[in-house]
Amino acid sequence: MNNYNTYNIKAAHFVKEMIPKIYIDRQFQRKVCWDGATCRSFIYRCNKGQTSAPIVLADAIEGKTHSKNHHDDRGQKRYEEAHKNKKTYISLDGQNRSEALRRLFDNELTLTGTYIDADDKSNQVENKLFKDLPKRLQDAFRDMDIGVKVMPPCKYEELHDIFIDLQSTYALNHQELRNALSTDIAGYIRDVAEDPKFKDMWLKSVATIDEQKVKRSLDAEWTAKAYMASLPNSYAPRNLNKDDVDKFYKLGVGKSNVDEYKKDNQARFFEILQLVATLVESGRKQEASSKVPQKIWWLSVYVAARLYDNAIVINDYSELYSIIRDLDQDLEHKDEKRFVRDIDSWERAGKPEDRKPSKNNYYAQWARDPADKARRAKRKNEFFNALDKEAKYIDLVMRSNPEFAVAA
């Protein structure tokens, strides 16, 4: 496979002999995200001989040689990483298709419908695993032609661009595109989001995240936004909209030293997110849905950063969650009443257009929009001013940190 044409390989051979040799570089590859229905649809088309796009790979050995010849030391090391993992190829397109075929032959996927066997006869199957199919239908699946193309050798950094170009017609979402950028922060954010300490937090604790959204890297997007929102005060606050997150990722393209990415900031954020995970795990047990509302999750990020930066220990996170949730609700209700009073006063004043109250100036709206840096700052300011006066919080902090009483 070295003249860079597309080859047809039998499906069973591809799964047994090639998939184990394919390296998945999560620096640019997205997660496997096809559901069972999509896998079945692909297998149905393979059985009909109706697939067109090949599985696209890069040759790790040829890429290493190419990088060496072009004095690309960084790229050479990346290719060597694949080779050290006993991989011959690097996946550029077709990870989900490869996984669908593997699931078929490993009896992880049931099939229903009409399929053509090796004798060109129709077979109706109902909810059957591969091992339970008629023998000649099994033969037909084993002999399905799978197109595979190996790209010409190139620098490793170019694989990122090739991957994005190949995916352009398959609707990569914003975070999957960011993950594919050749920038140090992409790998860090992905690794943190998928760290065992946090991976359960997304599905078990956050109300707006489900399994499919995690497969499409929403966990990494939230991690990136939380990282940006909790950077030390010495950095200018950032909005968290799509374009702003894109810009943050692109700070590191072609650079090795970006101040916002420095190791101290990364280590600090990891500690903060551990506090967030502890807080929301304690809090979700208090919620009827067993999940934390989005606006409280973001508040947990702000609180955790403040605790970490001020070296405040908390010995009862369940109590802390109750305090911040109740205080947040109280501030929202008070501002809702204030808004009603302000509207009433405005109407009695003859509704002057330049004095019409806007919901953008009230706590409830600030709480619902963490992406806007100004509203985020207003919420934090009002919340922490109230929290520092909250007797239950003061008592919890003093009980958890008896040395504070001595210092006072």
- Measured between alpha carbons, how far is residue 116 from residues 51, 140, 333 in Å? 15, 7, 64
- The residues that bridge with 8 in the sheet, in sequence order, are 147
- Alpha carbon distance 381, 232 (integer Å): 15
Q: Identify which has the larger pLDDT, 334 or 157.
A: 334
Asked whether the whole model's pTM tops 0.85, one would answer no
Q: Does residue 407 carry a pLDDT above 60? A: no
pLDDT tens column, 102-147:
999 999 999 999 999 999 999 999 999 999 999 999 999 999 999 9
**Is the Cβ–Cβ distance between 137 and 117 less than 8 Å?**
yes
Residue 3 has pLDDT above 60, yes or no: no
Closest CA to 64 of 23, 98, 120: 23
Rounded Cα distance between 71 and 16, Å, is 35
Say yes or no to pLDDT of 164 above 80. Answer: no
Residue 66 confidence (pLDDT) above 50: yes
Report CA 110 to chain centroid distance, whole Å: 28
Q: Which amino acid is at 246?
A: D
Q: What per-residue confidence (pLDDT) applies to 389?
A: 96
pLDDT at position 105 is 97
The domain segmentation of the chain, as residue ranges, is 1-170, 173-408
Read off the pLDDT of each residue in 64-93 and give the average, rounded to a whole number.
Answer: 89
Distance between CA atoms of 307 and 289, rounded to whole angstroms?
A: 27
What is the reported pLDDT for 6?
A: 79
**4 band by pLDDT with thresholds 50, 70 and 90:** low
Residue 406 has pLDDT above 50, yes or no: yes
Span 71-89, average pLDDT: 89
Average pLDDT, the chain: 90
Question: What mean pLDDT comes out for the span 29-38?
Answer: 85
For 251-270, the pLDDT digits (tens) are: 988 787 899 999 999 999 99
- pLDDT interval class at 283 (50, 70, 90): very high
Q: What CA–CA distance (Å, rounded) separates 211 from 204? A: 10
* Length of the chain measured in residues: 408
- With a pLDDT cut of 70, the percent of the chain lying above it is 97
- Reported as a single tens digit per residue, the pLDDT across 287-343 is 888 889 999 999 999 999 999 999 999 999 999 999 999 999 999 999 999 999 999
Pick the more confident residue, 357 or 404. 357
Number of C-beta neighbours around residue 202 at 10 A: 22
Q: Which two tokens stand for residue 32?
A: 């496997």
pLDDT band at 168 (very low <50, low <70, confident <90, very high): low
Q: Say yes or no to pLDDT of 169 above 60.
A: no
pLDDT at 171: 67
Backbone angles phi, psi at 120, to 5 degrees: 65, 30
DSSP code of residue 315: S
331-358 pLDDT, tens digit each? 999 999 999 999 999 999 999 988 898 8
Share of the chain above pLDDT 90, in %: 63
pLDDT mean over 155-166 = 82
Q: Taking 50 as the threshold, does the pLDDT of residue 54 lie above it?
A: yes
Strand ranges of the sheet holding 6-10, from the earlier edge strand across to the other edge:
6-10, 145-151, 55-59, 89-93, 22-23
Q: Does residue 2 carry a pLDDT above 50?
A: no
